[in-house]
């Protein structure tokens, strides 16, 4: 059994983002809201093997380069200018 929900006082920027997402996903506004709620409230749970694989993927994207402390200090100083 489905239930009806009416949303009021949606901020303009949220409405705009929702409309853009619905258009990008070729969904109605209603379907997009349901998809967003499902994603937020019923996240997909991944097991230990999935987490380990994701960690390996992230690690493989890192460079092996070690940073020199003087480069780090210079970057910090540059950011303060």
Count of domains forming the chain: 1
Task: List per-residue pLDDT tens for the chain, 81 residues long.
Answer: 789 999 999 999 999 999 999 999 999 999 999 999 998 898 778 889 989 998 998 888 777 777 788 888 888 888 876
* Residue 34 in domain: yes
* Residue 28 in domain: yes
* Residue 74 in domain: no
* Residue 11 in domain: yes
* Residue 26 in domain: yes
Q: Which domain holds residue 3?
A: 1-62
* Residue 57 in domain: yes
* Residue 51 in domain: yes
Q: What is the pTM of this model?
A: 0.52
Burial category of 35 from C-beta neighbours within 10 Å (exposed 0-12, middle 13-18, buried 19 and up):
middle
- CA nearest neighbour of 30 among 69, 2, 68, 52: 2
Q: Are residues 21 and 7 in contact, defined by beta-carbon separation less than 8 angstroms?
A: no
- Which residues, in sequence order, are CB contacts of 18 under 8 Å at separation 6+? 10, 29, 32, 33, 36
* Residue 12 in domain: yes
């Amino acid at each position: 059994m489905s239930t009806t929900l009416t949303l009021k006082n949606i901020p303009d920027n949220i409405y705009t983002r929702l409309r853009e997402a619905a258009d990008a996903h070729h969904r109605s506004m209603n379907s997009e809201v349901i998809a967003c709620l499902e994603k937020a409230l019923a996240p997909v749970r991944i097991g230990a093997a999935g987490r380990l694989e994701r960690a390996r993927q992230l690690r493989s994207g890192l460079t092996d380069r070690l940073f020199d402390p003087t480069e780090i200090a210079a970057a910090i100083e540059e950011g303060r200018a």
